[in-house]
Structure 1
Amino acid sequence: MSAAAEEVVTEAPAVEAVPKRAMTLGYGTSLVVLAALVIIPLLVKNFIIFQMTMLLIYGLAVLALNILTGGSGQFSLGQSAFYAVGAYTSAILMEHVGMNYALTLPIAGVICFGFGFLFGQPALRLSGVYLALATFALATAMPQLLKLGYFEHWTGGVQGLVVTKPDAPFGLPMSQDMWLYYFTLAITIAIYVASVNLLRSRSGRAFMAIRDNEIAASAMGVDVALYKTLAFGVSAGITGVAGGLGAIAVQFVAPDGYTIQLAISLFLGMVVGGVGWLPGSIVGSAFIIFVPNIAEGISKGLSGAVFGVLLFLVIFLVPHGARQVAIVAQQLAAKLKKN
């Protein structure tokens, strides 16, 4: 290497592999959002609390998909299958084994992690639309598998299983819905923080290197096969926990509740929230929960058409999702501070 080349190498500025602001909110904004999530349930009715609980649960599922697609660049339309496995795991352990609901969640996460990791092995040979089609097939097949008579004793077959909603522990003076909301909020915060730290870690940098250029990542010594399957496993594990929480919140699991429509909704939530931006998972979750209700309120007969128009407007106006809105808001705030 020549002296000039050595000088260029030594003087090249270091580049941060994982921009912190690309993944999370600032501390001030995070505290405001957290305070709102803690206080609002104290001021609203149980039905609104239930909706907020589902907002957090779907937000976890969208976050899991964001780690897989936004983190490692792998497309998946099969998240509903992992969600169903997690939901049925918690429901079966609670109703057939009598296990405490809180203990069923890590078990659901571990089982779904293994399921996702194993599914990621044959999926290594696929990429792009072919991987999306493979996961689409998984999501399509899962409801039918849950209806098989061989599993009917455990799954309840077509009729499904009824799940008992837990009471608040230690005699706390709060309703079942409120307790389950704060329980879900605590788990959501823990998984969110762990996910941010994961993407900032060595494994997260490996995910993003694979996402940006798989050949270059392999040349740099990244074990592409290991990290791609690991991304599938982590995403499936978080989705399984979300599925378990969903089963407890809804108090019912049935095969027809985990169709391909759920998988598409989660993918839509990721796009609306901003691919690769973890805080956008909650925004995307809010979109898939509340916008269909708004569309039905506008026109019950044409609710699907109204929803399609609203979705088109969102994608047309903010193609990068909520992340784009957050960046614009941040720039405006910076200009106001200067003035």
Structure 2
Amino acid sequence: MKPSATLNASLPTAVAGLSERTVKAGLLVLLILAVGLAFVAKGYQLFQATMVVAYAIALVGLNMLTGYNGQISLGHGAFFALGAYVTGILMEHADVPYWATVPAAAVVCLLIGYLFGRPALKLEGLYLALATFALGVAMPQLLKYKHLEAWTGGVQGIVLMKPDAPWGLPLTQDQWLYLFALAVAVVMFWIAHNLLQSGTGRAMRAIRDHAMAAEAMGVDNRHYKSMTFGVSAAYTGVGGALSAIAVQFVSPDSFTLFLSISLLVGIVVGGVGTLWGALYGAIFIMFVPNLAEKVSKAAPWAVYGVVLILLMFVMPGGVVGLLRKLQAWRAARSH
């Protein structure tokens, strides 16, 4: 092989290595800025930041199901509610520490998500979406069921106490809760990244791209679809648990069907089939409805709809898709 050919063959590898280092450096800077936010923002701003983190974790879960596995869910708000109620019930009735309720919410949602996903395997596309839609509609009514009121508080809900910073750390409750949520998010994103880069992640994408071909290649579609549904529910439950601690209150009316729709909107805005699109989608869920209400108190949802339509025209691939196009355009110009 000629020297020039060898050089050309090695270029993609070098560029890929540089790109990976750049991404890692960018993530480190992002993490430092996120931690620094705890000491700059105050009160309600920190609450909003904590909710963005909670939504981002939930969106990672839904994106694994829809973006990476091809299963459409219109009812993931039910798992968000379930995670919130697991935290509320354990803190209120069992005196479980707030930090221990987060993995408990993940385990409960994982089991219920897997059990729901197993029979739902017989459904595809819109039929699966309709089944999850029914789950999202039914969940608030189940939480109001009179025989569960002793645990769920019925329509009155459950009031929670915001935790203090441990070990005598000089942090306010809002600062500590934000940093705690951020630490949980780092762990959850790391697990999701490793999962999606593993053989399991490749099997998930193979099923999304062509289920019959994946099965012919030896992929156990039933197992991977059920597992993905369970893991997705677990992530959404963790997001719900963190939101319950941040809001300090859970009630059935907090988890309407609009929450499920918002989560789906979030992954589309951030970028379907992208891990980091969850951050942009969470920011959209948290801030755009409030901005729409400020623009027009008479018709805030009309403003919300217009903004969403414009975003889909400008960014059909979501925010991450737009960033990738800009990166490719800059790379083409530099050459």
Fold-level match, TM-score > 0.5? Answer: yes
- 2:281 paired residue among 279, 284, 288: 284
The percentage of aligned residue pairs carrying the same residue is: 51
Residue type at the aligned position of 1:195: A
Answer whether contact 1:25 1:279 (CA < 8 A) is retained.
no
The residue aligned with 1:232 is 229
Residue type at the aligned position of 2:299: L
Distance 2:89 2:17 in 1: 40
Residue type at the aligned position of 1:49: L
The residue aligned with 1:35 is 32
The residue aligned with 2:178 is 181
The residue aligned with 1:308 is 305
- 2:195 paired residue among 189, 193, 198: 198
Residue type at the aligned position of 1:206: A
Asked if residue 76 in structure 1 is aligned to residue 67 in structure 2, the reply is no
3-state SS of 2:68 partner: helix
- 2:322 paired residue among 301, 322, 325: 325
Distance 1:222 1:279, change over 3 A: same
Asked if residue 220 in structure 1 is aligned to residue 183 in structure 2, the reply is no
The residue aligned with 1:44 is 41
The residue aligned with 1:127 is 124
Distance 2:218 2:319 in 1: 34
Answer whether contact 1:70 1:276 (CA < 8 A) is retained.
yes
- 2:99 paired residue among 64, 81, 102: 102
Residue type at the aligned position of 1:129: L
Answer whether contact 1:62 1:285 (CA < 8 A) is retained.
yes
Distance 1:159 1:219 in 2: 52
Residue type at the aligned position of 2:269: V
Residue type at the aligned position of 1:260: L
Q: What are the superposed Cα offsets for residues 262-320 of structure 1, whole Å, 9 maximum, x if unpaired?
A: 00000000000000111010101111111111111211112111111111000011111
Alpha-carbon distance, 1:121 to partner:
1.1
Using the size of structure 2 for normalisation, the TM-score is 0.92
Distance 1:127 1:116 in 2: 17
Asked if residue 266 in structure 1 is aligned to residue 263 in structure 2, the reply is yes
CA RMSD of aligned residues (A): 2.0
Asked if residue 113 in structure 1 is aligned to residue 110 in structure 2, the reply is yes
Asked if residue 211 in structure 1 is aligned to residue 242 in structure 2, the reply is no
Distance 1:23 1:50 in 2: 33
Q: What are the superposed Cα offsets for residues 101-156 of structure 1, whole Å, 9 maximum, x if unpaired?
A: 11111111001000000001111011111100000000000000000111000100
3-state SS of 1:102 partner: helix
Asked if residue 241 in structure 1 is aligned to residue 228 in structure 2, the reply is no
Using the size of structure 1 for normalisation, the TM-score is 0.91
Distance 1:133 1:101 in 2: 34
Alpha-carbon distance, 1:328 to partner:
2.5
Residue type at the aligned position of 2:203: A
The residue aligned with 1:149 is 146
3-state SS of 2:274 partner: coil
Distance 1:314 1:20 in 2: 32
- 1:26 paired residue among 23, 39, 45: 23
Alpha-carbon distance, 1:200 to partner:
0.7
Distance 1:309 1:24, change over 3 A: farther
Asked if residue 137 in structure 1 is aligned to residue 109 in structure 2, the reply is no
Distance 1:46 1:21, change over 3 A: farther
3-state SS of 2:182 partner: helix
Answer whether contact 1:274 1:320 (CA < 8 A) is retained.
yes
Distance 2:247 2:153 in 1: 16
- 1:65 paired residue among 56, 62, 84: 62
Distance 1:35 1:246 in 2: 23
The residue aligned with 2:11 is none
Gaps of 5+ in 2: 1-15
The residue aligned with 2:7 is none
Residue type at the aligned position of 2:259: L
Alpha-carbon distance, 1:204 to partner:
0.7
Distance 1:45 1:227 in 2: 43
Gaps of 5+ in 1: 1-18
Answer whether contact 1:62 1:270 (CA < 8 A) is retained.
yes
Number of positions where the alignment pairs a residue of Structure 1 with one of Structure 2: 320
Alpha-carbon distance, 1:80 to partner:
0.7
3-state SS of 2:161 partner: coil
Residue type at the aligned position of 1:29: G
Distance 2:190 2:40 in 1: 27
Distance 1:137 1:149 in 2: 20
